[in-house]
Amino acid sequence: MAPSSEQKQSILVTGGGGFIGTHTVLQLLREGFRVTIIDNSVPEAVDRVRDLAGPALSRNLHFFLGDLRNKEDLEKVFSETRYDAVIHVAGLKAVGVSVAKPLLYYNNNLIGTINLYEFMGKYGCKKMVFSSSATVYGQPEKIPCVEDYELGAMNPYGRTKLFLEEIARDIQKADPEWRIIHLRYSNPVGANESGHIGEDPKGIPNNLMPYIQQVAVGRLPELNVYGYAYPTKDGTAIRDYIHVMDLADGHIAALRKLFATGDIGCVAYNLGTGHGTSVLEMVAAFEKASGKKIPIKLCPRRLGDATVVYASAEKAQKELGWRAKYGIEEMCRDQWNWASKNPCGYRLQP
């Protein structure tokens, strides 16, 4: 249970109805925080979080239907409750789509976040945990990436995260009262061990694991493997996949750092395992966990993709006391547990 100083603390979680948001909100409730979610859709996922949290803790969970690009929504959500910190997870996150629709990504990710900072400042809430991404490293020269590497995204999605990190650094320089932590996620996969909440993308999944998941349950015929001649061990691209429950714990660790004493300013932490896994290795691991064959089709590379991205999490371990606990086997086990129990995600049919 959280120390008494945190029990009354109130956290606003943007995008709290999404994959990372729901897992983070559940952990916040279990750690004794009061939570308000602002999300632009009313997902069944939030009811599932209430199921898992139980009636007592669910009394500390409030939901506000709103969009960060609507200043009236922000005025309402900030005037109703005094927040001690914000965890900002809301945002579009598909690399391939961002290459095809850059304006959609700049509008959604940049304008929404700038509005959020404005209202946080107006209401005196100057503690932010921001969902950044390892995609800000682009195609790094040296692997694993460390936080002081030169940044340079390779696609509009990654550039929205890079621009927002720079905007945050400027905000904090102008007003040192701000305490901002950037969490550079690797690739979130897996699901809560209950199988009651998990990733349920709208439409055809863009990310690898939810796509594999839908092939395994028979909703999609085969996996397109984007790129099979990369200079890697098996020719397919390599990423650092991280269990979403590890990621949720990383947000709690960052929040504790924000509330602790001592200067923070604006600081970034990689949240990864420090290990790289190829697309074909991920397919094999999921087949082992699920007992299902995943048919594949070798396809040309996807625009905007890097060859190899994985990050060192030593700084997070040293300064946040956080490290990833789960490996690829548990990620695939839990992703399959969610998929097999919810073949159509949160819907009763596709």
Beta 266-271 vs 241-243: how paired, if at all? Answer: unpaired
Instruction: Rank residues 159 and 333 by Cβ distance to ligand WQD and give the closer one.
Output: 159
d(CA 260, CA 25): 20
Residue of the chain from 7, 224, 298, 303 that contacts ligand WQD (CB under 6 A): 224
Whether residue 297 contacts residue 223, with contact meaning beta carbons closer than 8 Å, is answered with: yes
Q: Does 273 bind ligand WQD (CB under 6 A)?
A: no
313: Cα separation from own chain's centroid: 16
Region near ligand WQD per CB under 6 A, out of 3-11, 109-117, 201-209, 251-259: 201-209
Q: Does 246 bind ligand WQD (CB under 6 A)?
A: no
How many C-beta neighbours within 10 Å does residue 207 have?
A: 18
Q: Does 216 bind ligand WQD (CB under 6 A)?
A: no
Question: Can you name the residues that pair with 92 across neighbouring β-strands?
Answer: none
Region near ligand WQD per CB under 6 A, out of 47-55, 221-229, 255-263, 330-338: 221-229
Q: Does 237 bind ligand WQD (CB under 6 A)?
A: yes
Q: How far is the CB of 322 from ligand WQD (least distance, A)?
A: 17
Instruction: Rank residues 120 and 212 by Cβ distance to ligand WQD and give the closer one.
Output: 212
| Sequence-ordered list of residues with C-beta below 8 angstroms from that of 134, at least 6 positions apart, any chain | 145, 184, 185, 186, 187, 240, 270, 272, 309, 310, 311
Q: How far is the CB of 15 from ligand WQD (least distance, A)?
A: 11
Instruction: Rank residues 116 and 212 by Cβ distance to ligand WQD and give the closer one.
Output: 212
Instruction: Rank residues 36 and 133 by Cβ distance to ligand WQD and give the closer one.
Output: 133
Residue 236, amino acid? T
Q: Does 225 bind ligand WQD (CB under 6 A)?
A: yes
Region near ligand WQD per CB under 6 A, out of 11-19, 25-33, 217-225, 252-260: 217-225
Instruction: Rank residues 77 and 134 by Cβ distance to ligand WQD and give the closer one.
Output: 134
Q: Does 271 bind ligand WQD (CB under 6 A)?
A: no
Q: Does 185 bind ligand WQD (CB under 6 A)?
A: yes
| Sequence-ordered list of residues with C-beta below 8 angstroms from that of 202, at least 6 positions apart, any chain | none
Q: Does 93 bind ligand WQD (CB under 6 A)?
A: yes
For residues 105-124, which are near ligand WQD according to CB under 6 A? none
Region near ligand WQD per CB under 6 A, out of 39-47, 75-83, 183-191, 262-270: 183-191
Instruction: Rank residues 85 and 279 by Cβ distance to ligand WQD and give the closer one.
Output: 279
Cα radius of gyration (the chain): 19
Residue of the chain from 61, 153, 279, 308 that contacts ligand WQD (CB under 6 A): 279
215: Cα separation from own chain's centroid: 23
Residue 157 bears catalytic tag: yes
Choose, from 105, 137, 157, 228, the residue flagged as catalytic: 157
Residue of the chain from 305, 328, 332, 336 that contacts ligand WQD (CB under 6 A): 305
Residue of the chain from 60, 113, 160, 187 that contacts ligand WQD (CB under 6 A): 187
Residues acting as catalytic residues: 157
Contact positions vs ligand WQD (CB under 6 A): 93, 95, 133, 135, 157, 185, 187-188, 206-208, 211, 223-227, 237, 239, 279, 302, 305
